[in-house]
Every structure is written in structure tokens, then in C-alpha cells.
Amino acid sequence: MLKNSLLSLLMTSLILSASEEYHLKAPVAPKIPHSIVQHGQTRIDEYHWLRDEHWQKIVAGDLDFKNPEILEYLKAESAYKDAQMEDSKVVQEHLYQEILSRIKEDYQSWPVKKGDFLYYYREEKGKNYPILCRRKATIDAPEEIYVDVNREADGKDLYMFGPSVTNRANSFLAYGYNLTGSMERTIRVRNLQTGQDNEWSFHNSTGSILWVDNEHLLVVERDEQARGKNVYKVNIHQGPEKKVLVFSKPDEFDGMFLSLAETTDHEYVMVYLNSGSSQVVYVSPRSSIDFRLFAHGTEDVVFNLDHFRNDFYILTNIDGANNFQLFKTPVNQWGQKQWQLIQAESDSISLTDIHFYSHYLILEQKNNERALDELVVQDMGTGQKNRVSMPDEAYELDFSGDWDHNATRVRLDYSSPIRPSTVLELDLTTVQTTAVYTRETPNFDPDKYEVKREYASARDGERIPVTIIHRKGLVQDGSHRALVNGYGSYGYGMTAGFSSKLFSLVDRGFVYATAHIRGGDEKGYQWYLNGKMRHKMNTFTDFIDATEYLIEQGYTSKGEVAINGGSAGGLLMGTVTNLRPDLFGCVIADVPFVDVINTISDASLPLTPPEWEEWGNPVASADDFAYIMKYSPYDNIQSMGYPPMLFNSGISDEQVTYWEPAKMVARLRALKTDDNLLLLNMNMHAGHAGASKRYEWIDEEAFNYAFILKCFGLN
């Protein structure tokens, strides 16, 4: 606890939320100088004290702060946020009802066939969580509810369900859950005949689970850094007391994340070890769990394996082929020298995944020019290839496949910005798709809107894809406000899928845009590489250039642009606002990674060492340190005017810890020269994913949109 009576007095005055004076003043965090020396440079972090020594307990859901002044400060920020948004309560309620009106509250998903059963889930009006159901043989058979998540979550502030997977006999369900918002999962097994859970629980799992057979389960146990260390084989009738260690991550790969996967035909199980630029793959026959090293990639080399007949097929960017090549090798000849090239690298297409069904190979790929996902079906007998056509200019496509690897009809999940979630059935023999189900979206008319895919010119000449949505008839005269979304990290591309919530802004005249910037993989793996490490500044300048393109084209005007991004997208928000505060009129940063140099310099944090291969290692490299310091949002706050800003976070977030946005807000308050709104919205019952309840999620979205409208004086 800080030994400072003046501090205690200040903190006490901050939490007097009933005081009229309090409502007029923002909390002011005390400055407690903390000196950090790195590569011969000294910097002073006045808000280091906001990181509590009990942070690991806090992430686990126990809000036992060693320094109670931190909790009081967070409470003061929360009270200030509530007070400042009090005048928007009516707007929030209107937005809530609008968003809710476009959701069919009583909903049943399209069933997935697995063996003799059809699996689906239902949502019921007034309930926050799904109800998992199945029917035997036909959809007209009696319904079996095997998990009512509402019942599991009853009485809990937060309940995160998943993953969940049944064994091949459909007799047992393995599932995970979390009550704090952290990445940890507790694993249980449910008897689907009796509906009862086995007595045991497997605690401290990453949530990566996989059935070996009908009675044995593979479970990944977390290490102290939450990355996954050991894989255990668990007899579901005996539980973890009799667990058998089948794989332990070698010490040389300590900084890598561990996960399980299997081939499409379920014959082989893989352990994948991943970090920011390396991947290691171990393979075992399912029939006899014995993992052996298959491939070790360094310097951004990755692999994706599947099995067909007597061969492994390997999708990889080895030897600098960053649009990826396809190899095959016999199951008993793993050495790279035995790999046979099947498909060479393309200049314009990036291969992303492979699946084998019946005698067909399905290639997932990205069209690097159009920044869109595509599918190609290849007949392994004739060699003939056919690309699957899609109906929209911009869309989101997810390959779901089928549980039966002999299937000749497989499932695709598809949507576009104005086409609600649709299940497509792909006939592999004809390569034709049929829409078998579209999720009903009430009070939504797609004919009112227009979707465009345009390209902004980056300052170095690259073409940045931008997906744009607006009402038809919009005149591009610069009179409209815009909301621009972005991410641009870890190779995670921003898709052009359907989201009914955004039409609450579009119907108020906003232009909604997604900037597909470098650091994501929208234009292939090289697009990702060109936005990481010493190329990271491309991510930020791309976003600025895409925003300026929207202004140049008359979609909006300077200062009339709201921006939003989460996690590494929150880093994006912080950096571009530091660089160009004049460009934006409103900023929302969700669970924002903004204290970059301090976090990436602290190897004691769970995610730090793997991050060195994404951002650079400021501990070992003075050059990496200098480069990260150029954009680290917290370290680049200046004494200047900033637009209105909202920082959303969760106290139990172990991916981006609570003190990052708390420190960012504190320093912004101390340095910024304007009177614009600056809010910290700290959810005390959430982690990185935010609220787990569907009606709370709508509350959060309504709050964010109300903030945007408040920024621009709208309702």
C-alpha cells in the first residue's frame, strides 16, 4: 500500500460520487515516479503504481488488491464514466432497442450431422445463453437438451462456455468453462445418456481438448505463463488422478503456445507449438499416442498438415514461398528431403488451408489482389480443379466441412455486410453451392444499403483494401460522419461479414468502413509480414491513409471520423491518435494493448516472450527497443489536443492487463490540453472477450454507439 496520507485523502475525495463537485471533475491519478533504465535510456513511469502486486489473483477473479487505492481509483473512474454518460441514458436505451430489434431472440441454428445425431443450439427470448440440443436420426425426432448453458451460468456474474466436443459414439461430451474472463478453462465430461457430469474436473487447462477414442481424452494443461506445457491422456471414468503424460513441451520451445489438432480423417493427432514467427509440429497416430517431431519452422515458417490415403500433405511457406506451396510425403517418410512438390507458389494467390473429403482436396486460399477468401475443389483422381464462385463483392467465408471425411457435400458458413449469416452446402462433385439456411434478421432490408470494396493508396504505393457500407443514394460531398474499424496484427484479417448492430449508425447517416491494413493477412501472408516487427509502422500509416482516402472521396470529412479497434486494434487506436489527433472526432479502444514497451519488456507476464517474435525484443535489442518506442501509445502521449476517447477493458483480462488502459487514461488526463471527454470503462466481471451474456453484450454495444453519438452531438 502506498504510504502517502495525501494520496489517501485524494483517493477518498475521488469516490464521493454523490457530490456535485465530483461530477464536474475527472479523477486525477497521483504521479508516483518510477524510474526504468533500458539500453542506456531512462524513462519515468508515473503510473506504474496502478499495476497491483496481486495482479495474478485479480486475473483469476479474486479482487483482493494489495494496494486498495488502485481499486478505489478504478471505482472513481467508473463513477465518473457513469456521470458523464448519464445524459445519454435515453439514447442508450433507444440504441439497445434498435440493436435488439434486429435480433431474432427465439432462434434455432441449422443442424450439424454427426453420426446418428443432428446437433444444433437454440436461443430463447429473455435468456442470455444458448441451449445445446440434438435429435437422433431426423429433425422430427424428440429433442434432447444436453447442455442448457443458462442453467450452468445461473447465479454467476460471468460464465464462458466452451470448447465442447462429443466423442465419436456420441455418448459423452467434453466441455470447458471459465468464470473470470481469463484464458484458463476447467474441463468436465458429461454422460449424454444420463445428462450427468462425471465427478472429476480438470483444472488449469488451456481449453485445447481432443478425443482419442470414446473413453479417453487429450487435455492440454497450462504452464505458469498460460501457454500450455503438458498434454495428458485422461480416462474419462477415472479422471485426472490417473492421467497419463503423453507429451511435454521441450524447454527450448518454452516461449511457444501449445494446441491440439487432428487430420480430417481423424487418423492422426497433431501438437502445434506456435509463437510469433516460429512453428513446430509433432504428429502421432490416433491409435497409439506417441508424438514425434514432424517439422520445425523458424523465421516465420509455418505448416498445415492433413492426411489422405498413405500420404501427409503439407501446406508451408518454407524456402521463402510466402504465398505457400503444397507438398506430400509418405506417412513413413517424414524427412523434408522426401517431400514432393504438388503445387508451386502462385504470385497472386496465397494458400491458407487444406482438407480432404472423399477423393477431393479442398484448398482454402486468399486472392491477394481482391483480399477475399476463395475455395478450390480438386478431384484427386482426375486432377481437375474448380474454383467455387461467391455471390458478393465483399464477404466472409468459413469452411466448416463435415464430420464424415467420406462426405461429398460439405458446409460453408457465409455472410456479407448486407447478407445475414447463411449456410451454404457445397456439392464436391458439381462444385455448386446451395443456400440451405439464412439466419432471420428482423427489421432489416438489405435493399436500403450499398457495399463497396475500394482501394486506398498507401504512402509507399501499396493498395489498401477498404470495405465500405452506407445507405443507398448517399452523396459523396463530405457531409457524412464515418466509423472506421481496423486491427492489423498477428496475421488476423478483418473479414467483410454481417453485423446487424452497425446499422444503428448507418441508418443515422454514418459511413461504416473496414480498413484491411498490413499486419493482417487479407492480402496473404506477406501482407502480414509487411506489418510486423520493423515494418509495424505500415499498420498505422495504412490506417491513416485509408481514412484520408475516405475523406478525399467525399465519404466523410476531417474530424468527423470515429474509429474503433480492440486488443492489438486498441494499440492501433492509440498510435494513430497520437500521430494524427486532428483526423478523428471520436476514438473507442477496446481491451487496448497500449503500454507496449513496458509489457514487451517484462518476461514475467504470461504472453510476453512469444510476443517478441511479433513485435521485436526490446530487452535484447536496442534497435527493437528504439523502434517500438516510436509507436508505443502510452510512451508517445503529448501535450496537445486529443479527440474524445473511450477505453473499454475487463479487470480479469490476462491478455491485455487492466493497468494498460488505466495508465493510458491517467497519462492522457495529465497531458492533453483539451476538454474533450476521456472515459475509462472497466468491467469488473469480464476479461478479454467482454461480457458473456447476450443482453449485456447489447448493453455494451449501445453504450459504445451512444458515446459516438455524444462525440458528434447526435442522438
In whole angstroms, how large is the CA radius of gyration of the chain?
Answer: 26
Q: In what order do the strands lie in the sheet with 482-485?
A: 449-457, 463-471, 511-515, 482-485, 561-566, 586-590, 645-650, 678-683
- The tens digit of pLDDT for each residue in 48-100 reads 999 999 988 888 888 889 999 999 999 999 999 999 999 999 999 999 999 99
- The tens digit of pLDDT for each residue in 507-557 reads 999 999 999 999 999 999 999 999 999 999 999 999 999 999 999 999 999
- The tens digit of pLDDT for each residue in 424-437 reads 999 999 999 999 99
Residue 22 has pLDDT above 60, yes or no: no
Phi/psi of residue 148, nearest 5 degrees:
-100, 100
* pLDDT bucket at 656, cuts 50 / 70 / 90: confident
**What sign results for the dihedral spanned by CA atoms 313, 352, 344, 425?**
positive
Residue 7 has pLDDT above 50, yes or no: no
Whole-Å CA distances, 501 to 95, 123, 133, 418, 694: 9, 18, 27, 12, 13
Percent of the chain with pLDDT over 70: 95
Distance CA 280, CA 255 (A): 12
Distance CA 462, CA 458 (A): 5
293: Cβ–Cβ under 8 A, 6 or more apart, which residues?
Answer: 280, 281, 282
Q: Give pLDDT, residue 658.
A: 93
Residue 1 has pLDDT above 60, yes or no: no
Helix (H) or strand (E) segment spanning residue 538: helix 537-552
Q: What is the mean pLDDT of residues 279-308?
A: 94
Residue 498 has pLDDT above 80, yes or no: yes
Per the prediction, the chain carries an average pLDDT of: 93
Distance CA 697, CA 597 (A): 31
- The tens digit of pLDDT for each residue in 548-560 reads 999 999 999 999 9
Predicted TM-score (pTM) of the model is 0.91
Catalytic residues: 567, 653, 688
Length of the chain: 715
CB atoms inside a 10 Å sphere around CB 675: 9
Percent of the chain with pLDDT over 90: 85
Q: Give pLDDT, residue 469.
A: 97
Specify the range with the lowest mean pLDDT, choosing from 20-29, 444-453, 549-558.
20-29
176: Cβ–Cβ under 8 A, 6 or more apart, which residues?
Answer: 161, 162, 163, 164, 185, 186, 187, 188, 205, 207, 209
325: Cβ–Cβ under 8 A, 6 or more apart, which residues?
Answer: 315, 316, 317, 318, 341, 343, 344, 345, 351
Distance CA 657, CA 635 (A): 17
Q: Give pLDDT, residue 282.
A: 98
Q: What is the mean pLDDT of residues 356-372?
A: 95
The DSSP code sequence of 414-481 is EEETTEEEEEEEEETTTTEEEEEEE---TT--GGGEEEEEEEEEPTTS-EEEEEEEEETT---SS---
Distance CA 536, CA 23 (A): 40
Contact 538, 518 (CB under 8 A): yes
Q: What is the mean pLDDT of residues 253-264?
A: 93
CB atoms inside a 10 Å sphere around CB 632: 24
Q: Give pLDDT, residue 24.
A: 59
Helix (H) or strand (E) segment spanning residue 696: helix 694-711
- If you count DSSP H runs as helices and E runs as strands, how many of each does the chain have, helices first? 15, 38
Distance CA 639, CA 447 (A): 47
CA angle 211, 214, 220 (to 5 degrees): 25
Q: Give pLDDT, residue 689.
A: 63
**Nearest Cα residue to 437 out of 105, 117, 120:** 120
Q: What is the mean pLDDT of residues 197-210?
A: 97
According to the CATH classification, is domain 444-711 in 3.40.50.1820? yes
- The tens digit of pLDDT for each residue in 586-637 reads 999 999 999 999 999 998 886 788 788 899 999 999 999 999 999 999 999 9
**Nearest Cα residue to 334 out of 379, 278, 291:** 291
3-state secondary structure 481-502: CEEEECCCCCCCCCCCCCCHHH
3-state secondary structure of 352: strand
199: Cβ–Cβ under 8 A, 6 or more apart, which residues?
Answer: 239
Domain residues of the chain, as ranges? 252-345, 444-711
Residue 365 has pLDDT above 80, yes or no: yes
Q: Give pLDDT, residue 59.
A: 83
For residue 163, whether the previous peptide bond is cis, meaning omega lies within 30 degrees of 0, is yes
Residue 715 has pLDDT above 90, yes or no: no
User: What amino acid occupies position 392?
Assistant: D
Q: What is the mean pLDDT of residues 448-465?
A: 97
Q: Give pLDDT, residue 57.
A: 87
Question: Taking the chain, what is the end-to-end CA distance rounded to the nearest angstrom?
Answer: 44
Distance CA 374, CA 523 (A): 12
Q: Which residue has the higher pLDDT, 613 or 242?
A: 242
Which residue bears the cell 515458417?
301
DSSP classification of residue 339: -
Q: Give pLDDT, residue 4.
A: 45
- The tens digit of pLDDT for each residue in 636-651 reads 999 999 999 999 999 8
Contact 316, 324 (CB under 8 A): yes
CB atoms inside a 10 Å sphere around CB 388: 18
- The tens digit of pLDDT for each residue in 691-708 reads 678 899 999 999 999 999
- The tens digit of pLDDT for each residue in 141-160 reads 999 999 999 999 999 988 99
Q: Supply 237's cell numbers.
A: 471414468
